Amino acid sequence: MRFFLILIIIVYYTLTSYAQKSKKYSSLNDIDALAQQVEFLDLLVNNWYVKRSKININNQLIQKNNLPEIDVETPDSIYVERLFNLPTLIPLTFNKEVKKWINVYTRNNAFRRKLLGMTHYYLPFFEQTFDKYDLPLELKYMAIIESGLNPRARSRAGAVGLWQFMFPTGKMYGLEINSYVDERMDVLKSTDAAARYLRDMYKIFGDWNLSIAAYNSGAGNVKKAIRRSGGKTDFWEIYPFLPKETRGYIPAFIAALYTVNYYQDHNITPDSINMYLVSDTVMINKKLHLKQVSEFLNIDHELLTTLNPQYKREIIPGQFKEYPLRLPIENIGQFISAGEQIYKYKDSIYLTSQVSLVEPSKSNKAYRDYSKYYTPPTKKGKKKLFYTIKPGDTYSNIGEWYDVSAKDLQYWNNVRSSKLQIGQKIEVWVNANKYSHYMKINSMSREKKDETNIPSNKHKEKTFAKPNKNIHITYKIKSGDNLWTIAKKYQGISAENIKKINGFTDEDLRALKVGQEIIIKKK
């Protein structure tokens, strides 16, 4: 207990003395802000290669009474000289905000050593891509801030991957995202998308610092900051008008760039990483699980998933289209030689069929009768619109307004029930040539809609079978009727009988109207 009391006193006087010497951390607000920044950085590095080192991220977060180790012996002039000597196209600035972030990044702890170790693997990929688009190669350091070089990083807002793409932005830049594949986690493809995104930002702003800031918060926020600053176009002049996170983004970028180039001057030795710096890809054209590959070729499973982070469920859906599989270079020949053996290895264990060939039961007589006369409508020459259900609406009424049948509406909306909910939107496929006419129906009054219930000229002119009073009876179609429900009302009559005796085609059936008369054979 006495030891802890002495330790607390030493820490207190050390911090008090330091606070008096340093103007940059003289207030509790400064300490809080820096603590949040360091916490954010440490969380980003929470990936498999850190976990394997048995480092508990949650126990490493900075607290108010545990300030980062500040490099007080390095004069500002040395920082300025070092930054000046770097061959960068992007203008670099040094000030107290940048220095704060340099102090964060140059802390000699396990996080930074692991992070610096990973730069030897990832940065060469980034350089090749930025060179391809003739962009400043130093943009590669942005990934350190974005994800801590964790290809599986996922923010609370839903941004994913090394370059932290949101779902719509990833789609916009051509990244495939589905249940099996998320190319936001693909090292090469996400970097290519990030390069194109940054190129587009530079076309808008013509300034790399603003373009980098726009990557973080969006072009809209940077434009707002420019307007609020009175039209200024320098990052440090619009600094107060930017979102809080974006204000720290450029300083963090400069600090990351500085640290990767000068870590040795801060006595930091990057950790060796268990990653194959030389790798290559093979194209997969069948469904394949990564465990099939790792077990058959005796490759560390965690290493294989890290080389191929884009496969969310460790399954490559090669049966859909060809996908790349990245392997250590020495395993490429083994994979090619093994051929079909790898695809078949434990496939019954790791791969399950997502599609089963099961026919629906046909024991129900209603299904048999219904399937005989109903043929799903073609969408050729038609265009889709959505109708919003209003009080009193039924599938039959809606079908009359849009010249389709109630069964067509149920088929398009994948429902068997005739129940509708007010406010529900249903899909309707209408004649493309009359699309503008049908679009108006949604906003019409009930009376106006009913005025549209006039059979088309085609059905006015067509002559159906005439009733013979000796052998036929007539039936007037009611709301909700179809041939099957009508047939059920007459013993010994089927939907097929009614269809034949009236000379109906499938198109005629879809155009049946409430009030229309049909004939039924007497029994």
Q: Is a pLDDT exceeding 60 seen at residue 408?
A: yes
3-state secondary structure of 518: strand
3-state secondary structure of 480: coil
The answer to which of 166-170, 344-348, 512-516 has the lowest mean pLDDT is 512-516
The candidate with the shortest Cα–Cα distance to 128, out of 119, 115, 116, 137, is 137
User: In this predicted structure, what is the pLDDT of residue 488?
Assistant: 79
CA atoms of 319 and 343, how far apart (whole Å): 11
User: In this predicted structure, what is the pLDDT of residue 495?
Assistant: 79
User: In this predicted structure, what is the pLDDT of residue 61?
Assistant: 30
- Provide the pLDDT confidence category of residue 353 given band limits of 50, 70 and 90: low
pLDDT > 90 in the chain, percent: 41
Q: Is a pLDDT exceeding 70 seen at residue 519?
A: yes
Instruction: Give me the DSSP letters along 151-176.
Output: TT-B-TT--BTTTTB-HHHHHHTT--
pTM: 0.58
- How many helices and strands in the chain, by DSSP H and E? 28, 8
The candidate with the shortest Cα–Cα distance to 292, out of 305, 277, 280, is 305
CA atoms of 124 and 120, how far apart (whole Å): 7
3-state secondary structure of 517: strand
Instruction: Give me the DSSP letters along 173-234.
Output: TT--BSSSBBGGG-HHHHHHHHHHHHHHHHHHHS-HHHHHHHHHH-HHHHHHHHHHTTS---
The answer to which of 14-18, 292-296, 306-310, 510-514 has the lowest mean pLDDT is 14-18
478-491 tens-digit pLDDT: 877 778 778 878 87
3-state secondary structure of 127: helix
The candidate with the shortest Cα–Cα distance to 219, out of 206, 229, 230, is 206
Alpha-helical runs (H) found in 22-141: 28-44, 48-51, 76-85, 96-105, 110-132
Strand partners, 429: 384
The total of other beta-carbon atoms located within 10 Å of residue 303's CB is: 17
- Provide the pLDDT confidence category of residue 26 given band limits of 50, 70 and 90: very low
Token digits of residue 114: 């692991």
pLDDT > 70 in the chain, percent: 77
User: In this predicted structure, what is the pLDDT of residue 138?
Assistant: 96
- Whether 293 and 287 have beta carbons less than 8 Å apart is answered as no
Mean pLDDT of the chain: 79
User: In this predicted structure, what is the pLDDT of residue 485?
Assistant: 78
Tell me the CATH architecture of domain 368-458.
Roll (3.10)
- Provide the pLDDT confidence category of residue 25 given band limits of 50, 70 and 90: very low
User: In this predicted structure, what is the pLDDT of residue 56?
Assistant: 29
Strand partners, 425: 388
User: In this predicted structure, what is the pLDDT of residue 357?
Assistant: 57
H or E, element range at 476: strand 472-476
User: In this predicted structure, what is the pLDDT of residue 401?
Assistant: 84
CA atoms of 196 and 139, how far apart (whole Å): 12
The answer to which of 52-61, 174-183, 220-229, 491-500 has the lowest mean pLDDT is 52-61
- In the chain, residues under CATH classification 1.10.530.10 are 21-175+186-266
Q: Is a pLDDT exceeding 90 seen at residue 516?
A: no
237-291 tens-digit pLDDT: 999 999 998 999 999 999 999 999 999 999 998 888 776 667 889 999 999 999 9
- In the chain, residues under CATH classification 3.10.350.10 are 368-458, 460-521
Q: Is a pLDDT exceeding 80 seen at residue 136?
A: yes
Strand partners, 280: 327
Token digits of residue 468: 């013979």
CATH number of 460-521: 3.10.350.10
User: In this predicted structure, what is the pLDDT of residue 233?
Assistant: 92
Name residue, tokens 């930025």.
130
Q: Is a pLDDT exceeding 50 seen at residue 85?
A: yes
Is the pLDDT higher at 184 or at 276? Answer: 184
Determine phi and psi for 509, rounding to 5 degrees.
-65, -40
Token digits of residue 394: 């039924």
User: In this predicted structure, what is the pLDDT of residue 48?
Assistant: 33
The answer to which of 46-60, 429-443, 466-480 has the lowest mean pLDDT is 46-60
Is 21-175+186-266 assigned to CATH 3.40.640.10?
Answer: no
User: In this predicted structure, what is the pLDDT of residue 378?
Assistant: 78
Determine phi and psi for 414, rounding to 5 degrees.
55, 50
